[in-house]
Structure 1
Amino acid sequence: MIPQPPTALPRELLDNEEMQRALATHDFGTVFRLARSHAGISYSKIAAECDIKPIRVGTLARGEGRITSFDKIVEIADALRVPGHMVGLAPRPWETDNSPAHTHSREIGPNVRRRTVLQVATTTGLAAALPALHRSPAPKRVTAGYVDQLRARTARLRRLDDILGGGDTYRVYLSEYQSTKALLRTARTADDTRRRLLSLLAEQAQQAGWAAFDGGRPAEASSLYEESMAAAREAGDSSLLGNAFAFLAYQTADRDQAAEMAARSCATITHGTPAGVRALLHERMAWACAVANRPADTERALTAARTALEEQHGEEQPDWVAWVDQTELDIMTGRCWTELRRPLRAVPVLTKALARYDDAHARDKALYLSWLADAYLTAGEVEEAAAVTGRALDLSIGVASVRPGERLAPVLAQLGQHRELPAVRDVMERAGA
């Protein structure tokens, strides 16, 4: 049997509902507090085993601050013997048949009550309440073919983002990223294969970062994008490096800084950059310029994105840009003109694009409808704005993403000034419900 550290949490504490919620949400202050009160594990022992300053453990236990470093999350999970799936990681190396918490690493055991699973699902998303996805043991020597298999798996899992929000997918994507990161530390690889693996790590970090951003975890998203940038640089992958800059620009609150970051993303474009990647980087540049109220630069970037799309001609594209098509670019065009307060340009293009956009992509369609509603309000078409907002509200129900609500809040605030209209009263009542 593998020796247990002095901070290993007993099985009955891992079955505790409050502990499970705290682990699922990375609320390690509550984890430390419960470890001391329920298992008698002192803060000094936790500090020593987790390599955290004792005063920091105390402040976390009082609810001050958060642990967001992924390496530190791994270190805490190992020190407390928390099965990987409970904190969104792949199974840890010590999760063997003779581990006291073994039942947690393979299935939802009899002690994990259905009520607990549903509570975690409601709080942190469906994926956080379920065990880690099945993954075959990695070989000791990683080949280029094996990396291709991992990339294909990443592409399949990316499709979850089409129908689920980041609150549901974050743990899944983070686990994949952590697994590849561990593989880079432990597996033997040729130099070229290692570069491929680093490129995959950069791609997975971006996917996990996007889910974090969508699920309301901006600090985790920024950290993942930074790690992606480092991996892309080491791999020599300029396309993924540019996309990391574009992701950072998209979530940066400072408008001038976002435009500067987007410009840096476009600066990574070379003659060898795939057309789909160029289209994505240019459309993100257009958005950053629109938010910064630079209409001429916005139009130039949109034209560059459209030209890039037209130049694909059957050229093989990375899977991570497969979603960038004519409809997506039309929607981005409408969003940009909405931000620039040009409703006569925004409404027609958004209306046509959203008419061919499937309701199955509920999160994204709810978001895009919010810009159409915004454009109608700018044009003074209040009843049309109310109707579109109602559709967006219907689509956003049950979606594990913070963004539809954030986007619809200012639209509803503007609509609230017109409560005398029956259409507005109706949508405001639905929003309140």
Structure 2
Amino acid sequence: MERLARELQAAARRRGMILTPSRDRIYKWESGRVAAPDADYQMLLADVLGVPQELVETLGWPWWLPAFDTPHDFSARGTRAALREVLVVLQHPDRRAFLALSTGALVGVAQQWASIEPERVATALDGRRVDGTLVAWLESRTDELRALTNTNAPECTDLVHALLRTTIGLIDHAAYDHPTERRLHQVAASAAQCAGWLHFDQGEYAAAQRHWSAALHAAHAAHNRDLGAGILTDFAYFATWLDHPATAVSVLEHAHSRTASPAARALLHLRRAGALAVLGDRTATSRALVAAEQDLERAQPATTPPWAGWMSPADLTIDAGRCWLTLGQPQRAEQSLTDGIGMLVPSRQRTRSLALAYRAESALACRDLDAAAADARSALDTALATEASRCIKLVNDAAARITPHTSNAAVRDLQAHIAALPQAVSWSQPATGGRG
């Protein structure tokens, strides 16, 4: 940061500008303490980083920044590197929020995954031999933790990380045969996928990307195409959330090409519908939702992979409501969201908080301030109970669009409820990020 500050100062002098960029200012950019540098500082950053000024204006912050992470190839060496990178992240959390894969690199990763066959490790690693009992225990713990993260995510974080460290350590140092190698990689992929969601829910986007990248490599080494496709749906959801729906559509096209499970295909269609809705393509969104419904009807427990086990008609209905809201059909959205919330099991509180926030926005669009305020209040209480910053932020944004309507008594009650909360919540202006 100090070196970058010096180079920014030199760039300012070359342009005849009186600016004194400091290490502290750069830290605020990297840690997200400020939304974005102002236009002058972005111009100087582009000078230092060798980025054309037109890209700064076209792509916007932080997407014009060059991505310093290069995706690993889908080979035994590349998979090892991706898994070891996760160990570094666990040991030293990355504060640099914009040090992540670019959207172009992400599509390239998906394309490689769809076209490159896994390589077998030629010889066993030095060290102790992994027996079947240990692998079965790891697989069982992975399935249990995956289920627990849906209801007790903050409490599960350390457990998931411990499982991931143990499995990567075995892959790196133990001896095993080829079937055991594939099973170990599948455990690593599942654990890394869960960890990615835990980081994503806390707004730690770079860490989430690294975990999902490692998970994709491990799933590839395990020859598990459905699991790999599921991880690509996570990448696609992430891209749509950050307002890059076209990237999400491209990633999902590659994922769809190698997927067999009806439940997995249903989730792919659902994620695609969400991205297409943000792109404003009503016809394609409707087709994707119909395809998701058809595949979900064909899904059977025996053919549904654990990572897609949470997928239900409630999720499909709620996501359809989100799509209609995005496409400017609030009445249709409100009915779909109401139906979905009614079907949702009680333990799915994070999903419930998001659905309530979407329904609050639908009610606001329909000028029903009483319903909007009531749903925003319920969404807030539910989101705070989950401790997921991603959910809290989305509810924050929804409530910030409702609270200015102070002529309504229900809205004033909502404001009073917010003011009385024991936990500090930042009620800023709505963000422009994508919907969850």
TM-score range, shorter chain: 0.5 to 0.7
Partner of 1:141: 129
More relative contact order in 1 or in 2 (CA 8 Å, sep 6+)? 2
1:170–1:215 CA contact under 8 A, matched in 2:
no
**d(CA) in 2 for partners of 1:175, 1:411:** 36
1:280 CA displacement: 1.6
Is 1:267 the equivalent of 2:276?
no
Alignment of 1:155-194 (within 5 A): 155-165=143-153, 167-194=154-181
1:423–1:311: structure 2 CA closer, same or farther, 3 Å change rule?
same
Partner of 2:206: 219
1:145 CA displacement: 4.8
Is 1:325 the equivalent of 2:312?
yes
AA aligned to 1:72 is V
**d(CA) in 2 for partners of 1:193, 1:72:** 25
Partner of 2:270: 283
Partner of 1:416: 403
1:339–1:212: structure 2 CA closer, same or farther, 3 Å change rule?
same
**Any runs of at least 4 consecutive aligned residues in structure 1 with deviations exceeding 6 A, and if so which?**
62-66, 74-77
AA aligned to 1:265 is A
TM-score, normalised to structure 1's length?
A: 0.66
Query: Deviations for 1:57-96, whole angstroms, at most 9, x for unmatched residues?
Result: xx99x97979x9533357779xxxxxxxxxxxxxxxxxxx
2:383–2:395 CA contact under 8 A, matched in 1:
no
1:290–1:298 CA contact under 8 A, matched in 2:
yes
1:426–1:406: structure 2 CA closer, same or farther, 3 Å change rule?
same
Size of the alignment, in residue pairs? 309
Alignment of 1:20-419 (within 5 A): 69-72=85-88, 140-165=128-153, 167-252=154-239, 253=242, 254-269=244-259, 273-419=260-406
**d(CA) in 1 for partners of 2:91, 2:392:** 35
1:293–1:169: structure 2 CA closer, same or farther, 3 Å change rule?
farther
Aligned-residue identity in percent: 28
1:314–1:215: structure 2 CA closer, same or farther, 3 Å change rule?
closer
1:431 CA displacement: 2.1
Secondary structure of the 1:418 match is coil
Any stretches of 5+ residues in structure 2 without a counterpart? 1-22, 32-83, 94-126, 421-436
TM-score, normalised to structure 2's length?
A: 0.65
1:236–1:314: structure 2 CA closer, same or farther, 3 Å change rule?
closer
Any stretches of 5+ residues in structure 1 without a counterpart? 1-58, 78-138
**d(CA) in 2 for partners of 1:217, 1:274:** 30
**d(CA) in 2 for partners of 1:390, 1:409:** 10
1:209 CA displacement: 0.2
**d(CA) in 2 for partners of 1:200, 1:148:** 10
**d(CA) in 2 for partners of 1:373, 1:319:** 32
**d(CA) in 1 for partners of 2:166, 2:261:** 28
